[in-house]
Amino acid sequence: MEFNIENIMNKINNPKPDTWSQILKRPTKTIDDIEVTVKEIFKEVQKKGDEAVAKYTSVFDGIALDNYEVTPAEIQEAITLVSTELKEAIQLAKNNIYKFHYAQKAERISIETIEGVNCWQEKRPIQKIGLYIPGGTAPLFSTVLMLAVPAEIAGAKEVVLCSPPDKTGKINPAILYAANLCGVTKILKVGGIQAIAGMTFGTKSIPKVYKIFGPGNQFVTVAKQLATQFGVAIDMPAGPSELLVVADDTAVPAFVASDLLSQAEHGADSQVILVSTSKKLIAAVEKEIEIQLEELPRKEIAKKAIANSKLIFVENDKIALELINEYGPEHFIICSEYDDFYCNGVVNAGSVFIGNYTPESAGDYASGTNHTLPTNGYAKNYSGVNLDSFMKSMTFQKISEKGIRNIGPAIERMAEAEGLQAHKNAVTLRLKNLE
């Protein structure tokens, strides 16, 4: 049977708002059965350390290793294996990511809230950072840049990177090259649940960290969630990648199609949505998808994702914006005459791409923005990874004698009304001392 794009794409005409949540529903997965496995491995790593890590590396990665840490010799080898062209590309991307994240450095915010009461906020680095980089066919060295560059700018003392070894006990050279370039302090050949458990509890080989970043399969996702129950923070909850494009007749259909497909190739569960006020544009994009799809090496994956995709016609831009904010896309491309309207009005999105020459892949690799972004509607309540993700806000206050005279009586009254006499006392004693 010939592949017919008309039959697989979901075109939706002017949907009523009360149907939006159904139309925009993401595929959900149950994780209950995975949880049991993850908890078991966590317990074993907590108890037995490296012994358990060795066991599961053998089980899941099919290799026995004596030493998990990547040696300087292995890094040197990796450097020679990466082509000059790719090195230059990585360097250009790194420069842009560095510039954008460095610009996010915040000065101390200091204010005298009332005479004699000085308060300030400072950001200090999280001292120990863990990065997880998946293995497999697609070596995500770009994610190494996205995480290690801001970690270094923030000033983390330790940046540990875990990535699973292949069957020969190696990590892809581009990953090692990027990690070395960006100041990662320790690289470990450990993957999956055992890597997350190792960074959570610490083992002889794997340092305990305070916050874990990075993508992964369902096992890694559940393991990161579990890590939070043991005092470790994580970047954000994960879900399949997604893209929403809003486009009108000012958009180039071939470009829009290429963006939708670049999202679709990520995985069969990727989400791809086009919202438009132009039926003509929708038809043209559909046609372009059919043409471009046939050329893709990963077309089988992309076809499955395209089958879940939605092409939604709406009557005007106001409705489009409402729908987009209800969805809260991870990636949001705007190719519209009214791009300012969308830029100003969007409140729920991870990263926004404006205009015909701003493909999503620019943000994935080299524009400078971060590609670790909230999926699954989390753009409603989570930030994408940024410099602050690697820091903590701390507050300071210094109160003078004049200051405590100014706010002391208010504190005494409030503490008393809350029934906290010792809180009141701490002020009363000081005020008496000043009499």
Please report, in range form, the residues annotated as the binding site for substrate: 241, 263, 266, 331, 364, 418, 423
Q: Burial, 412: exposed, middle or buried (Cβ in 10 Å; 0-12, 13-18, 19+)?
A: middle
Judge whether 330 counts as a catalytic residue.
yes
DSSP code, position 58: I
Is residue 363 at the binding interface for a copy of itself, with CB under 8 A as the rule?
Answer: yes
Alpha-helical runs (H) found in 243-298 = 253-264, 279-293
Residue ranges in 142-181 that form contacts with a copy of itself under rule CB under 8 A:
142, 174
Is residue 220 at the binding interface for a copy of itself, with CB under 8 A as the rule?
Answer: no
Residue in 330, 337, 360, 412 annotated catalytic: 330
Nearer to a copy of itself, 67 or 110 (CB): 110
Which tokens go with 346? 């969007």
Which tokens go with 49? 């350390």
Interface mask (CB under 8 A) for a copy of itself, residues 381-400, using x and -? xxxx-x-x--xxxxxxxxxx
Cβ–Cβ < 8 Å for 152, 182: yes
Q: What are the Cα distances from residue 246, in Å, to 26, 298, 341, 351?
A: 18, 25, 12, 14
Count of Cβ atoms closer than 10 Å to residue 303 Cβ: 19
From 432, 388, 410, select the one nearest 113 (Cα to Cα): 410
CB of 7 to a copy of itself, least distance (A): 21
CB of 50 to a copy of itself, least distance (A): 20
Among 119, 195, 307, 337, binds a copy of itself (CB under 8 A): 119
Q: Which residues are documented as binding site for Zn(2+)?
A: 263, 266, 364, 423
Nearer to a copy of itself, 59 or 343 (CB): 343
Partners of 135 in the beta sheet?
Answer: none
Distance spanning both ends of the chain, measured CA to CA = 93
From 216, 176, 212, 215, select the one nearest 197 (Cα to Cα): 212
Among 25, 124, 280, 318, binds a copy of itself (CB under 8 A): 124
Residue in 242, 288, 331, 360 annotated catalytic: 331
Q: Residues binding a copy of itself: what is the number (CB under 8 A)?
A: 130
Nearer to a copy of itself, 172 or 277 (CB): 172
CB of 375 to a copy of itself, least distance (A): 11
Is residue 401 at the binding interface for a copy of itself, with CB under 8 A as the rule?
Answer: yes
Stretch that binds a copy of itself, among 9-17, 181-189, 313-321, 405-413 (CB under 8 A): 405-413
Nearer to a copy of itself, 24 or 54 (CB): 24
Q: What angle separates helix 32-48 from helix 218-227, to the nearest 10 degrees?
A: 60
Nearer to a copy of itself, 218 or 393 (CB): 393
Among 34, 233, 268, 307, binds a copy of itself (CB under 8 A): 233
Q: Which helix (H) or strand (E) holds 145?
A: helix 141-154
Residue ranges in 240-269 that form contacts with a copy of itself under rule CB under 8 A:
252, 254-255, 258-259, 261-262, 264-266
DSSP string computed for 155-194:
T-SEEEEE----TTS---HHHHHHHHHTT-SEEE---HHH
Cβ–Cβ < 8 Å for 217, 30: no
Is residue 224 at the binding interface for a copy of itself, with CB under 8 A as the rule?
Answer: no
Among 221, 335, 350, 375, binds a copy of itself (CB under 8 A): 350
Among 71, 95, 115, 279, binds a copy of itself (CB under 8 A): 95
Is residue 296 at the binding interface for a copy of itself, with CB under 8 A as the rule?
Answer: yes
Name every residue whose Cβ is closer than 8 Å to that of residue 187 and which is 6 or more positions away in sequence: 69, 70, 75, 160, 161, 163, 171, 176, 179, 180
Residue 241, φ and ψ in degrees, nearest 5: -70, 155
Interface mask (CB under 8 A) for a copy of itself, residues 297-336, using x and -? xx---x----------------------------------
Judge whether 331 counts as a catalytic residue.
yes
Q: Which residues are documented as binding site?
A: 132, 194, 217, 241, 263, 266, 331, 364, 418, 423
Stretch that binds a copy of itself, among 7-15, 59-67, 99-107, 183-191 (CB under 8 A): 99-107
Q: Is 353 helix (H, G, I), strand (E, B) or coil?
A: strand
Catalytic residues: 330-331
